[in-house]
Amino acid sequence: MRAPYAANPEKSKGRKFPEASPTYRSEFQRDRDRIIHSTGFRRLEYKTQVFVNHEGDLYRTRLTHSLEVAQIARSIARTLNLDEDLTEAISLAHDIGHTPFGHAGQDALNACMKDYGGFEHNIQSLRIIDVLEKNYADFNGLNLCFETREGVLKHCSLKNAANLGDVGERFINKKQSSLEAQLTNIADQIAYNNHDIDDGLRSGLLNIEQMREVQLFSTQYDKVMWKHPDLKGNRRIHETIRRMIGEQVVDLVETSRENIAKVNPQSIEDVRNHSEQLISFSDEMRTHNQELKKFLRENLYFHHKVYRMTRKAHQVIESLFEVFMNDLRLLPPGHLKIAREALLAEGMAGQARVIADYVAGMTDRYATREYSRLFGIEGNVF
Ligand code: MG
C-alpha cells in the first residue's frame, strides 16, 4: 500500500515532452526500463568505482555498485511504503554521469573545464538522461519524469541550479526532494561504505586488524567470531559486512519512521516543504558512519596504490581533453561535427562541453586505449 507521502506515478509532475501513458506499466516503471536500455547504463560495467576495471574481476564496478544501491534502496522503500519503481529508477541512474577512473577522473575533467563552466558528475548524470542519450524518435534524452530527474540531481551549486530549470528550483528555494530520492542517496552511502571494505580487504589494501579500529566493523566482527569461531577468509568478512548493512538499514528504517510519524506529512508536497530530510540515520549511527568514512578515506582512497592510479587517471583525462581541444580533427567524425557546430554557436565553451561529454562518456578501458592510440610510441597502436 502506497503511503500518502510517497511519490505517485499517476500524479507525476510529468515529462518534458508529453507522451501517452504506458499500457501495462506505471510511469516510474517506464523510467526504470528506459534507464536499463540506455547506452550510459551499459557503460557503467566498465567504469571504476574505487579499483580500475581491469585490476580484478571481483571488485565492484559502477554497474554492480548501482545494483547494490537499488537492492538496498528498494527493500527500504517497500518497508516504508514508498514507490519502489521510482526508487529503483533513481538508484540505477544515480552514477550514470561518472567519468572513467572514478572521482579522480571527475576531478581531472573539472580542472580541464574550469574556464568553461566546470564538470560535475551529478549534473552530467542529468545531462545524459535529458540530452545526450539519442535513441528515441521524438526527443533527445530519455524524457524521464520530473521525479526521476529530481532524484538523479542529488546536489548542485546555486550557480548551476539557476540553469537547470524545474529540477534546480529546490536548491534555490531550499526545499527537499521526495522521500524516494532522499532514501536512494543514503542507500548509496550504505552500499559504498560496506562494499569498499569488502573490496579493500579482498585486495589486501586493508587488513582485519586495521578494520577493528572502526566500531561499526568491530561490533559485528566480534559477534561473528563469537558465533562462528572457526569461520575463515571471505565467509568471515561477508558475514560481518552483511550484518553491518543490516544494522544500518534497520537504524535508517526506524529513525525515518519516527521522523515521519512526528511530522505526519499528508502528501509529497508536505515532504518537499519540510525544513529537514525525513529519511535519516540516528545521531549515533551518523557518528559511526562518519568514523567509517574517515577511515576509508585515510586508509583506502588515499592508499598509495590507489593514489598512483589516481595520478595516472589525471594524466589520461588531461591529455585527452587537451589534445582534442587543440585539434578537433582528432575526434571521431560524429563528435567532430557536433564540436564544430557547438564552436560556431557558443564559442570555446561549447566546443569544450562537447569534448567533456565525449571524454566523460568513455569507459576506463576505452580511455586507456584512446590514450595509447594518440600518445603511444610503442606497439604501433592505431
Ligand atoms: Mg554511487
**pLDDT for position 317:** 96
Cα(149) to centroid of ligand 1, in Å?
Answer: 16
Share of the chain above pLDDT 90, in %: 85
Q: In angstroms, what CA-CA distances link 76 with 33, 69, 179, 286, 360? A: 21, 11, 11, 18, 32
Give me the mean pLDDT over the 354-373 stretch.
94
Cα(72) to centroid of ligand 1, in Å?
Answer: 12
> What CA dihedral angle connects 128, 129, 134 and 137, to 10 degrees?
-160
Cα(166) to centroid of ligand 1, in Å?
Answer: 23
Cα(244) to centroid of ligand 1, in Å?
Answer: 18
Cα(368) to centroid of ligand 1, in Å?
Answer: 23
Cα(316) to centroid of ligand 1, in Å?
Answer: 23
Evaluate if residue 196 carries a pLDDT over 70.
yes
Cα(317) to centroid of ligand 1, in Å?
Answer: 21
Helix (H) or strand (E) holding 295: helix 283-296
**pLDDT for position 305:** 85
Cα(94) to centroid of ligand 1, in Å?
Answer: 6
Taking CA 99 as the corner, what is the angle to CA 314 and CA 317, rounded to the nearest 5 degrees?
30
- pLDDT tens, residue by residue, 271-300: 999 999 999 999 999 999 999 999 999 999
Cα(359)–Cα(111) distance, integer angstroms: 13
Cα(328) to centroid of ligand 1, in Å?
Answer: 32
Cα(83) to centroid of ligand 1, in Å?
Answer: 20
pLDDT band per the 50, 70, 90 thresholds, residue 378: low
Give me the mean pLDDT over the 83-97 stretch.
97
Cα(122) to centroid of ligand 1, in Å?
Answer: 10
Cα(74) to centroid of ligand 1, in Å?
Answer: 15
Query: What do you get for the CA distance between the two ends of the chain, in Å?
Result: 58
Q: Cell 582534442 belongs to which residue?
A: 324
**Hey, where are the domains in the chain?**
9-155+172-304, 305-375
**pLDDT for position 54:** 60
- pLDDT tens, residue by residue, 34-48: 999 999 999 998 888
Catalogue the long-range contacts made by 283-291 (C-beta closer than 8 Å, 24 or more residues apart): 285/248, 285/251, 285/252, 285/255, 288/215, 288/216, 289/189, 289/193, 289/216, 289/248, 291/214, 291/215, 291/216
pLDDT band per the 50, 70, 90 thresholds, residue 203: confident
- Fold type of domain 9-155+172-304: Hypothetical protein af1432 (1.10.3210)
Cα(61) to centroid of ligand 1, in Å?
Answer: 10
- pLDDT tens, residue by residue, 230-246: 999 889 999 999 999 99
Cα(227) to centroid of ligand 1, in Å?
Answer: 33
**pLDDT for position 253:** 98
**pLDDT for position 46:** 86
Kindly report which listed range (185-194, 233-242, 346-355, 369-378) carries the lowest average pLDDT score: 369-378
User: What is the distance, to the nearest Å, from the Cα of residue 73 to the centroid of all Cα atoms in its chain?
Assistant: 13
Cα(71) to centroid of ligand 1, in Å?
Answer: 13
**pLDDT for position 53:** 59
Cα(90)–Cα(353) distance, integer angstroms: 25
**pLDDT for position 34:** 98
Cα(208) to centroid of ligand 1, in Å?
Answer: 25
Q: Are 277 and 176 in contact (CB under 8 A)?
A: yes
pLDDT band per the 50, 70, 90 thresholds, residue 102: confident
Give me the mean pLDDT over the 366-375 stretch.
92
Catalogue the long-range contacts made by 40-44 (C-beta closer than 8 Å, 24 or more residues apart): 40/96, 40/97, 40/128, 40/129, 40/132, 40/133, 40/361, 41/92, 41/93, 41/96, 43/361, 43/363, 44/95, 44/96, 44/98
**pLDDT for position 59:** 78
For residue 61, the cross-strand partners are: 48
Bin 296: left if φ > 0, else alpha if -120 < ψ < 50, else beta: alpha
47 Cβ neighbours under 8 A, 6+ residues apart: 53, 61, 62, 63, 98, 99, 100, 102, 363, 364
Bin 139: left if φ > 0, else alpha if -120 < ψ < 50, else beta: beta
**pLDDT for position 379:** 58
**pLDDT for position 306:** 84
Neighbours of 145 (CB within 10 A): 23
141 Cβ neighbours under 8 A, 6+ residues apart: 16, 128, 129, 130, 131, 132, 133
Give me the mean pLDDT over the 61-76 stretch.
96
Cα(70) to centroid of ligand 1, in Å?
Answer: 10
Cα(141) to centroid of ligand 1, in Å?
Answer: 21
Cα(269) to centroid of ligand 1, in Å?
Answer: 26
Cα(211)–Cα(242) distance, integer angstroms: 15
Give me the mean pLDDT over the 185-204 stretch.
93
Cα(56)–Cα(344) distance, integer angstroms: 44
Cα(193) to centroid of ligand 1, in Å?
Answer: 10
Cα(151) to centroid of ligand 1, in Å?
Answer: 13
Q: Which three cell numbers stand for residue 330?
A: 582528432
pTM: 0.95
Neighbours of 72 (CB within 10 A): 25
Average pLDDT across the chain, whole number? 94
* Residue (of 13, 187, 156) closest to 87 by Cα position: 187
**pLDDT for position 380:** 54
Cα(93) to centroid of ligand 1, in Å?
Answer: 9
**pLDDT for position 55:** 64
